[in-house]
Amino acid sequence: MEAKDEKQAEEVKPEKQDTDSDEVQLPRKELILSANALAVLLFEVSVIAIVVMYILITAPARSPFSEPIEPCRNLSCFQLDLELCTSMNPCSDFYQYTCGLWGDQHKGFANQFDLLEAKVYNFIKYLMMEEEARLAAGGYFYGSDRTVADYLSCVDDCRRQGDT
């Protein structure tokens, strides 16, 4: 049993290296792995540096001496003087102060919802007419063209019913 222990002890002992010899020793596996890790790290740092430099070069220049935008300090800046009934005292009748001129400025609309509905309809009509002009000029066919065609057929039906 002691003989086995001596053999194991001999196997475990590291080999003595001869430092007096002129032979060049090959790098160890750990040294090669650390060199690879260092190369990968250097590559990553280089990529990050290039990205940061690109962002800094292509970013729009901001001049610290550009004129600052002045804040609004009166009602005319916001054009609220046209919306508010400034002849009223806001403490006595705030609703009349804020909404008193709305009816005068938006004749033909009972409330803001009617006004908003009219604006939406007008905007849709404008978009549809633009698309109609593009299609008439031989423009490209888009998915929205089917919607435009349906809208125009409804408009034509309404016109025909109005003519009869």
Digit-coded pLDDT (tens) for 102-154? 888 888 888 889 999 999 989 988 888 887 787 777 766 666 677 777 777 78
CA distances from 103 to 74, 120, 140, 156 (A): 24, 20, 44, 34
Reduced to 3 states, what is the DSSP secondary structure of residue 24?
A: coil
Instruction: Quickly tell me which residue has 């550009």 as its tokens.
Output: 66
Closest CA to 100 of 3, 92, 17: 92
As given in the structure block, the two tokens for residue 163 are 């003519």
Contact 134, 143 (CB under 8 A): no
pLDDT reported for residue 117: 93
Which of 32-36, 50-54, 149-153 has the highest mean predicted lDDT (pLDDT)?
A: 50-54
Q: Is pTM beyond 0.75 here?
A: no
Domain boundaries, the chain: 72-105, 110-156
| Phi and psi angles of residue 91, each rounded to the nearest 5 degrees, phi first | -75, -25
Each residue of 110-120: pLDDT tens digit?
888 999 999 99
DSSP state of 71: P
